[in-house]
Structure 1
Amino acid sequence: MAGQNNGQPRRAAIAAFIGTTIEWYDFYIYGFAAALVFGKVFFSSTLDPGIATLLSFLTLWAGFVARPIGGLIFGHLGDRIGRKTTLVITLVMMGVATTGIGLLPGYAQIGAWAPAGLVLLRVIQGIAVGGEWGGAVLIASESAPRNKSILYSAFAQQGSPTGNLLATLVFFALSALPTPEFVTWGWRIPFLLSATLVILGMVIRLKLEEPEDMKRVIKQKQTVKLPVLEVLRKHWVIVLLAAGVLPVIHVTYFKTTFALSWATKELGYSQGTFLGIIVTALVVQFITQPLGALLVQRMDMRKAVCLMVLPEFILMPAMFFAIETKVYWIAVVGMCLATIPHSMFYGAVGGILARVFPAKVRYTGLSLSYQLCSLVVGGGTPVLAQWVLNSTGSITGVAIASALYALVSLVCMIALLNRTGFIAAELSTAEQADIGEVAEEENRAPEGGRKTVPVV
């Protein structure tokens, strides 16, 4: 991955951070609203509250179902026309959909059209974020100085806890409203604020340059007509392994969307109290998350991953039992400790996965892997957890499921690193292949008309 000597790496990292913050803010406020009010606002009041909450979580899942579509569409565009333009489009789409949700009438006003409209706008959100993550990681990692791509990609990853923190703080502030006002209009404020944030993100992204890796692909006419076919034909094993790496990052929906609903509706926590616990955990995530990128940059990545993931087998299940005590400080400690392992993993995983695909199909491969996992695991996490809770009346099954997420991620990551390279300072197999293509292109150039190729 090529670096640049001017200020582009820093600008790209900051733009990736701010852009993903806005996108994830939009995505996370939906999760909070789904847990707190959508069952009441967009579904019939005659439904059992538990069923209404489950249906609300199913609309949340609709966004995750749409994310692979966004990954395919914007992965294709990102590998054909470049990262910058694609990221501008995803940001506008997300802003329009989120603002639309804030203006959507409820079930009492338009009946069944209300949940239908909600699902449609959630699908648009999903398509947008499906194309956002891969592009943001690449705009940062491909612009980074040599051998620092994983560290720079961590800037894009920081957008997730920051967006989540902003979403939580807004809902925390609104929790001071009386319940009738919050259900009637207060929940809409976070969605309408999105329009202002999108304008800020647009100004920053329009000033970016295309990364050198993508400039080289376009200049040498190495773009692939249908990147998804190339990925599925030549790199399908890598896609499956990369998707299998990611379940552990989705445990965040156990501790935010599901836990918020469970704690406030079943355990008696007030909305403001539990949102305060989540805010504390998100601050811990923001602080500890970059440490994962530092760890994998400095040691055998397989050992680093084991150090990050193995504690999750104990800490995430323990979190649920800590919350169940209904003792505030125990719940805070339990959630903060459970946050550290998967946060560090998330800080590193974007940069790791960006290394495993060739530059000409990197956007598509990265997006397809991430969104495939999101489809199967991400949106289904609160649905699965709520179903297990409804069926058993116990949190034990949910705790076991959270540990299984970590197990799948650890096994797939070790297999992926053994196949593609496990030393961050060395070129991965995909990066070595890119260098081989550059050399071949130079050799094919006419004598006296050699092309200047950037250092990879």
Structure 2
Amino acid sequence: MSSARTANRAGVGAFIGSTIEWFDFYIYGTAAALVFDEVFFPELSGALGTLVAFATFWVGFLARPLGGVIFGHVGDRLGRKKTLVITLLMMGVATTAIGLLPGYAQIGVWAPILLVSIRMIQGIGLGGEWGGSVLIASEHAPRGKSILYGAFAQQGSPVGNTLSTVCFLLISKLPEADMLSWGWRVPFLASAGLVVVGLFIRLRVTESPAMERLISSRRTAKLPVWEVVRSHPGLLALGIGACTIGLSATYFKSTFALSWATSDLGFAKPDFLTIILVANITQILVQPFGAVIATKMRSLSRAVTWMLLPEVVLLPMMFLLIATENYWLAMVGVAVATVPHCLYYAAMAGILAGRFPAEVRYTGLSLCYQLCGTLLGGTTPVVGQFLLGASGSINVVIAYALFQVLLTLGCMLLLLRRPSYDERDNPGGNGDRSTLDSTAGRVQLG
């Protein structure tokens, strides 16, 4: 098989697998915003029930760093492909189990206990999935295109989110009693069929060339997580910050804003789900151009600055337009605010992957992304709901969102001043160049 065909198959496999896993993860967030407070926490009324439902949503993020450590270790020692098969199966089984879980009315307090336990398993699975999907694509990429191919895995997030939104948009048209009793379970049970498709595609993808070289030369790290913490602590910290708005922006829209708009404002659930759907479709169409921009521009620092700065204006505008309770203004606000962070999200994975040596790349990349999810991304609905409840004003939530945008930009600009370890795209170690030079092929280990 030609190298180009192998790379394309790896990219498609990363996209399909990550789409399925993100679908599994996002349907939980949507269900938490719409039904879980009544199904699993009926004794907690109003905003408190929503807050607790969002807290169970965050439990998945709490478990994701553990998944990054466990499967990062496996992926850095035994291979990317084997790890991705395991994580796909784990996510599929956990998601299907949630769809079969009785509610509080049937088994009492055991219902939320089991929900949280299964959500932990989901989080561990996704914690190991994301880094592997990025690497199986980017490490198969042709020279000079690792950021572009890394974006294949990134594209799975908006597509998975769109599928999740479509499912709940259709289900929300059911009578309320049917939606609460069985309707919300349908997307979770459908995951079983999607996993079969994902496994068929993923098993046909070959191991990445970078991993094959590490195994053949016996250069795999004995304890990857320790190597990352010991040798790259500053890079880890900057990577966590650089992922922030790439993760949290989605949860500002599809989880926090969905709950706020349908509980506190005058939006019907189907209407705001349609607004989110339009934003997701916008992301699917626009996001790949972020990887193209980062690949084509000579300066990555300039590229990410141009991508993120408009968000300083557009994200506050989104909240203010939603607050008008006008359907069309809210739709425009959410869709337009999606553009800057989705461009950045496409490029972020490939940029970050190249900053870690191949022998700890899976672990380092996973820890940056998953720790950010635990500390900043996954807490977005909880913190947003708390700030809104405590202050009574959406302006405090807007200020928190702006802080996340500026944190992301600052950390990424500092990260780009560090050397790249990507042996194909930037062997000379100039962190602010995305072009090849004549020394391509040499790995910088310093």
- The two structures have a TM-score, normalised by structure 2, of 0.95
The equivalences for 1:42-81 within 5 A come to: 42-43=40-41, 45-81=42-78
Corresponding residue for 1:369? 368
Instruction: State the distance in 1 between where 2:381 and 2:287 align.
Output: 23
Q: Is 1:64–1:374's contact at 8 Å kept on the other side of the alignment? A: yes
Instruction: State the distance in 2 between where 1:104 and 1:352 align.
Output: 40
Instruction: State the distance in 1 between where 2:58 and 2:14 align.
Output: 25
**What SS does the aligned partner of 1:197 have?**
helix
Instruction: State the distance in 2 between where 1:63 and 1:373 align.
Output: 13
Is 1:434 the counterpart of 2:443 in the alignment?
yes
Instruction: State the distance in 1 between where 2:167 and 2:194 align.
Output: 14
Corresponding residue for 2:292? 294
Offset of residue 176 of structure 1 = 1.0
Aligned pair partner of 1:187 in 184, 188, 194: 184
Aligned pair partner of 2:255 in 254, 257, 271: 257
Instruction: State the distance in 2 between where 1:345 and 1:404 align.
Output: 16
The equivalences for 1:76-225 within 5 A come to: 76-225=73-222
**What SS does the aligned partner of 1:418 have?**
coil
Amino acid at match of 1:203: F
Offset of residue 48 of structure 1 = 2.0
Offset of residue 298 of structure 1 = 1.5
Corresponding residue for 2:428? none
Offset of residue 46 of structure 1 = 3.1
Instruction: State the distance in 1 between where 2:63 and 2:306 align.
Output: 33
**What SS does the aligned partner of 1:419 have?**
coil
Is 1:398 the counterpart of 2:397 in the alignment?
yes
Aligned pair partner of 1:281 in 267, 273, 279: 279
Instruction: State the distance in 2 between where 1:434 and 1:235 align.
Output: 17
Is 1:422 the counterpart of 2:432 in the alignment?
yes
Aligned pair partner of 1:41 in 26, 39, 50: 39
Corresponding residue for 2:425? none
- Identical amino acids, percent of aligned pairs: 54
Q: Is 1:248–1:342's contact at 8 Å kept on the other side of the alignment? A: yes
Q: Is 1:4–1:143's contact at 8 Å kept on the other side of the alignment? A: no
Amino acid at match of 1:423: R
Offset of residue 235 of structure 1 = 1.0
Instruction: State the distance in 1 between where 2:374 and 2:338 align.
Output: 22
Amino acid at match of 1:157: Q
Offset of residue 426 of structure 1 = 3.8
Instruction: State the distance in 1 between where 2:334 and 2:143 align.
Output: 37
Instruction: State the distance in 2 between where 1:190 and 1:384 align.
Output: 27
Corresponding residue for 1:452? none
- Report the aligned-residue RMSD: 1.5
Instruction: State the distance in 2 between where 1:326 and 1:436 align.
Output: 55
Corresponding residue for 2:424? none
Corresponding residue for 2:313? 314
Q: In structure 1, list runs of 5 or more residues that go unmatched.
A: 438-456
Cα distance change, pair 6–309 in 1 and its aligned pair in 2 (3 A): closer
Instruction: State the distance in 1 between where 2:138 and 2:408 align.
Output: 22
Corresponding residue for 2:387? 388
Instruction: State the distance in 2 between where 1:22 and 1:287 align.
Output: 19
Offset of residue 388 of structure 1 = 0.8
CA deviations over 1:311-330 (Å, ceiling 9, x no partner): 11111111011001011111
Corresponding residue for 2:30? 32
Q: Is 2:54–2:382's contact at 8 Å kept on the other side of the alignment? A: yes
Q: Is 1:41–1:183's contact at 8 Å kept on the other side of the alignment? A: yes
Corresponding residue for 2:423? none
Instruction: State the distance in 2 between where 1:225 and 1:432 align.
Output: 25
Q: Is 1:4–1:144's contact at 8 Å kept on the other side of the alignment? A: no
Q: Is 2:355–2:418's contact at 8 Å kept on the other side of the alignment? A: no
**What SS does the aligned partner of 2:235 have?**
helix
Instruction: State the distance in 2 between where 1:126 and 1:274 align.
Output: 27
Instruction: State the distance in 2 between where 1:383 and 1:42 align.
Output: 17
CA deviations over 1:120-161 (Å, ceiling 9, x no partner): 010001000001110000000000001111011111100000
Q: Is 1:4–1:145's contact at 8 Å kept on the other side of the alignment? A: no
The number of aligned residues is 432
Cα distance change, pair 318–6 in 1 and its aligned pair in 2 (3 A): closer
Instruction: State the distance in 2 between where 1:404 and 1:109 align.
Output: 43
Instruction: State the distance in 1 between where 2:328 and 2:70 align.
Output: 45
Offset of residue 434 of structure 1 = 2.7
- The two structures have a TM-score, normalised by structure 1, of 0.93
Amino acid at match of 1:154: A
Corresponding residue for 2:347? 348
Mark the structure with the bigger radius of gyration: 1
Offset of residue 236 of structure 1 = 1.2
Instruction: State the distance in 2 between where 1:202 and 1:196 align.
Output: 10
Instruction: State the distance in 2 between where 1:23 and 1:233 align.
Output: 31
Amino acid at match of 2:284: F
Offset of residue 7 of structure 1 = 1.2
Corresponding residue for 2:427? none
